[in-house]
Structure 1
Amino acid sequence: METRRRSVLKAVIWNVIGLVTMGIVGLIATGSLALGGKLALVNTVLGLTMYVIYERVWAGIRWGRAHG
């Protein structure tokens, strides 16, 4: 079973990658660094929250795991 700390660290690293990517996409889409950055930040906060919840739910599901 994965620890909560590991799940959170994985989520944070993944979301930093997403923040940078979405910041670039937001800048290209809007032409504004400020607006693109705000959109990327909102996306990152929501994505991080949902990812942590998703990972923790799956950590508690035994289906599909090899035991032994």
Structure 2
Amino acid sequence: MALFSGAETHKRSVLKAVSWRILGTLDTFVISWLLTGKVALAGSIAALEFATKIAWYYAHERVWASIAWGRGAH
């Protein structure tokens, strides 16, 4: 059995992670800009946040894809 196998394909998990992260990063950028008043700083915060959180989301998604609990009858 492959590590992190499940109903979701790796490609789908990556696409979901990227689309969700874009929305989250835009949110982080706007909040950072409003709080600091500095576009460059807000951009740096958003870029770092994008890179780290997309990796964490992908790992989280793959772990959950491999867990049968809560999917109904097996």
Which one has more relative contact order, counting CA pairs under 8 Å at least 6 apart? 2
What are structure 1's unaligned runs of at least 5 residues?
none
Partners in 2 of 1:26 and 1:14 — Cα distance?
18
Partners in 1 of 2:21 and 2:10 — Cα distance?
16
Q: Does residue 7 of structure 1 match 2:16?
A: no
| 1:30-49 correspondence to structure 2 within 5 Å | 30-49=36-55
What are structure 2's unaligned runs of at least 5 residues?
1-6
Q: TM-score, normalised by structure 1?
A: 0.91
Q: CA deviation at 1:21?
A: 1.1
Partners in 2 of 1:8 and 1:65 — Cα distance?
21
Partner deviation per Cα, 1:8-62 (whole Å, 9 max, x = no partner): 1011001111111111111111111000111111111111110000000011111
- Cα RMSD between the aligned structures? 1.1
Q: Which amino acid aligns with 1:12?
A: V
Equivalent in the alignment of 2:35: 29
State the secondary structure of the residue aligned to 2:30: helix
| Percent of pairs with identical residues | 40
Q: TM-score, normalised by structure 2?
A: 0.85
Q: CA deviation at 1:66?
A: 1.7
For these two proteins, the number of residue pairs brought into alignment is 68
